[in-house]
Structure 1
Amino acid sequence: VFWNAYGMADSETGRKMKRDDIFRIASQSKAITATAVMMLWEEGLFRLDDPVSKFIPEFRNPQVLKTFRYSDTTWTGEPAHREITIRHLLTHTSGLGYGMIDGDERMKMLYQKAGVTDLFTTENITIEESVKRLAKLPLHHHPGEGRTYSEGLDVLGYFIEVVSGIPFDEFLRARIFDPLGMVDTWFYLPDQKAGRLVPVQHAVNGKWKRFPVTFYDPDYPVKGARTFFSGGAGLSSTAKDYATFLQMYLNGGEYNGVRILSRTTVDLVLTNHIGELWDLPGEPMRDFGLAFEILTPEGQATGGMGTAGTFNWGGYFNTQYFADPSEQIIGIIFKQTQGISEDSNRKFRQLVFQSLDD
């Protein structure tokens, strides 16, 4: 195992990065939430193609956005061709949007007006409250007929509470984190771990400075109400913890004698579930499973990305991972930055694979 820390955790104080530092993993939370969903699926509590309205009635009779007035955000919709299913939520094909980071300005305005909480917060709100507000809003497109990155995994966090009868954070702790020994993965860090959280930084006049409060407070893992458990973006973790989680997948659902998912369920998770909805013309490089991006044979042929079947994703603060089942390799690179454009993830991945020496 090559496991090292480089650079500064906090340039303003001169604190150096350490191997056990804790990072906001943001959208890397999605794979963990999806795993929890599939654990309940294995118990026979629902089918992947069940409508989510069966469990959260507020989602009945969804509407697709048809007209929108910018002056007052009034809108009209048309009835969706079908209900939103659990599978749609896992694969970002539900038509739901993503509020402040949505690519459609109309959706940003509607989500903000409705009081939907995106990503993370220090405010006193629960996922139940936010999800029920979200359920009243129009969709980008008909469920199953497009792919739009969305808050679907936040909906599924509340869905897990409904189906299991257990608060979402407690479910993850009891069923995934404690059994796997992921002792540093939390929505909100215990006081004794707070000092290991790496600050979010951005470049100001050529120097790294702490990122300010914008539509969110970067200190959300260690302050505030601590009531919003975002299944899509809320967790913080360490490189070691997340490597443990990924190794469980490479082991076919088991780690150190603890089985989280069956081998057949892992195969299902790592199967393409969206057809060609994600393909660019002439570039079928990637498929999408149940919350994982999956490399295709065409993607493998581009070079440096791994073997077909390699799965990956990343997070809002520049954290990335990949896992190659054929080569049995996991790669994790964690940073905590905003406002920069760089290519370290691609370079890291390419350098890992070129270093193989059998």
Structure 2
Amino acid sequence: MKKAIACLLLVVCSYQTISAQTSASVAIPENKGFSVERLQRIDKLIQRYIDSGWIAGAVALVTHNGHTVYYKALGYDDKEQHKKLEKDAIFRIASQTKAITSVAIMQLYEEGRLLLDDPISKYIPGFKNPAVLNQFNKADSSYTTVPAKREVTIRDLLTHTSGISYAQIGTPVANAIYAKAGVVGGIGLLDGTSAENIERLAHLPLMHQPGEHFTYGLNTDVLGYLVEVLSGQSLAEYFREHIFEPLGMKDSYFYLPKEKYTRLAMLHSEDKSKHVVNMEPKIVINGEFYRDYPLDPDGKFYSGGGGLVSTAYDYTLFMESLMNGGVLNGKRILSAHSVRLMTQNQIGDLYVNGSRLTKFGLGFEIVTDAASGRSTSPPGTFSWGGMFSSTYWIDPQEKITAQFVLQQFPNSHGDLGEKFKVLVYQALQ
């Protein structure tokens, strides 16, 4: 009898995560729709990649109907120091920041501060009378333009159809034009502000006519600056007051307080043989990139497109609120109607990153019926990820949220994230 009780307690402790202050609770997966035995395949998959030297470690957190069914940290936080990875490690979530910024925009929409089809120039005048790139001279990065057919709207920015590309990690042409003007990607910096960056960007050409293509770029950084303009707060202050504190997200920041410095996970890279190594403190990615930028005590560059750090636990609170139609534990951050808008196709027949199967809402990639036929995700699942190999998804049909976090760039073995998704669904009973 004692042995049976001990085994039961072991299972509970292995799978609990979200505390009583949230909507998710301790669960024994067999009782909550998941197979314990089949979930263990996730451990074996991740461990195989660790043993192969392809990744240092990973944290994974899965909830179902508000109950945590899987929450583990495997491998190393710092591979060179053999420091074990902990579940509460703080990660650079990079482009997972975009969803939070998009929610902030929708909050302002709900307050009557903006309309989605307003031109961005109504609030940031530098974007008035936009021009579109016509010809580019590689020799000196000079270019010619033609007038845009219309102005860029807030909806264009939320859907990445504005024509704005990325600095540093965009196309070679965009990288060159933005670098010459001093526009940066928004993370890995030790000086400057988002406001300065966006005001420079506002006067540069669009890569295509607004609304005609999906181009992943600095759109959400523009929206982050818009939040500051309309709210009168820094983006860090706005997030804390309107999103983090209501949801109980205690480990989410742009720049970490000193007492949490030791919890920042090591960022890894790859050697020439595609095996994982610690990233050097400073590298060049079409410009200087500082590995430990979240530890900058004087940092003021609040990138709405990629600047946040967080934990798997904290981000799950955010995902749970969206799963619940904008509310968690009685704290509503958004209306159910706005969540519905955000998670519907907003780009019509446009392709997303070359695919006609998936679509894009207001801040999220959306799984369509056609895309669902080629993956495990049901229609309506919405998701995105981050530059450092993190990924998440929210599945309203099966009531699943999942967060899978690595800290690695580049990552030649990026198929691990998709394999993780397969193993989550194969364990659903």
Tell me which interval the TM-score lies in, with the shorter structure as reference length: over 0.9
Distance of 2:139 and 2:418 partners within structure 1 = 42
Corresponding position of 1:101:
169
Corresponding position of 2:370:
298
Q: Is this contact kept in 2: 1:26–1:119, CA < 8 A?
A: no
The match for 1:246 among 319, 330, 347 is 319
1:328 aligns to 2:399 (yes or no) = yes
The match for 1:257 among 330, 333, 353 is 330
Tell which deviates more after alignment, 20-29 or 338-347: 338-347
5 Å-filtered alignment, 1:76-91, equals: 76-91=144-159
1:12 aligns to 2:80 (yes or no) = yes
Cα offset, 1:172, TM superposition: 0.4
SS at match of 1:313: strand
- 1:129-151 deviation per Cα after TM superposition (whole angstroms, max 9, x unaligned): 00000011111100011111010
Q: Is this contact kept in 2: 1:122–1:225, CA < 8 A?
A: no
Distance of 1:225 and 1:216 partners within structure 2 = 17
Q: Indicate how the Cα distance of structure 1 residues 115 and 279 shifts in structure 2: closer, same or farther if over 3 A, else same.
A: closer
Corresponding position of 1:158:
225
Corresponding position of 1:138:
205
Cα offset, 1:158, TM superposition: 0.7
The match for 2:303 among 194, 215, 230 is 230
Q: Is this contact kept in 2: 1:95–1:143, CA < 8 A?
A: yes
- 1:71-118 deviation per Cα after TM superposition (whole angstroms, max 9, x unaligned): 222211000000000000111000011011112x12111111111121
Cα offset, 1:301, TM superposition: 1.4
Q: Indicate how the Cα distance of structure 1 residues 313 and 76 shifts in structure 2: closer, same or farther if over 3 A, else same.
A: same
5 Å-filtered alignment, 1:268-287, equals: 268-278=341-351, 284-287=356-359
Distance of 1:299 and 1:26 partners within structure 2 = 25
Corresponding position of 1:174:
241
Distance of 1:233 and 1:240 partners within structure 2 = 18
Q: Indicate how the Cα distance of structure 1 residues 292 and 127 shifts in structure 2: closer, same or farther if over 3 A, else same.
A: same
Cα offset, 1:310, TM superposition: 0.5
- 1:24-43 deviation per Cα after TM superposition (whole angstroms, max 9, x unaligned): 00000000000000000001
> Which amino acid letter does the alignment assign opposite residue 132 of structure 2?
V
Q: Indicate how the Cα distance of structure 1 residues 280 and 156 shifts in structure 2: closer, same or farther if over 3 A, else same.
A: closer
Corresponding position of 2:390:
319
SS at match of 1:177: helix
Corresponding position of 2:256:
189
Give every structure 1 segment of 4 or more consecutive aligned residues whose post-TM-superposition deviation is greater than 3 Å: 205-208
Q: TM-score, normalised by structure 2?
A: 0.80
Q: Which has the larger radius of gyration?
A: 2
Q: Is this contact kept in 2: 1:121–1:228, CA < 8 A?
A: no
Q: Indicate how the Cα distance of structure 1 residues 205 and 113 shifts in structure 2: closer, same or farther if over 3 A, else same.
A: closer
SS at match of 2:265: coil
Q: Is this contact kept in 2: 1:284–1:296, CA < 8 A?
A: no
RMSD of equivalent CA atoms = 1.4
Corresponding position of 1:56:
124
> Which amino acid letter does the alignment assign opposite residue 371 of structure 2?
G
SS at match of 2:168: helix
Distance of 2:353 and 2:361 partners within structure 1 = 17
Q: Is this contact kept in 1: 2:164–2:207, CA < 8 A?
A: yes
> Which amino acid letter does the alignment assign opposite residue 30 of structure 1?
K
Distance of 1:67 and 1:225 partners within structure 2 = 40
Q: Is this contact kept in 2: 1:123–1:224, CA < 8 A?
A: no
Q: TM-score, normalised by structure 1?
A: 0.96
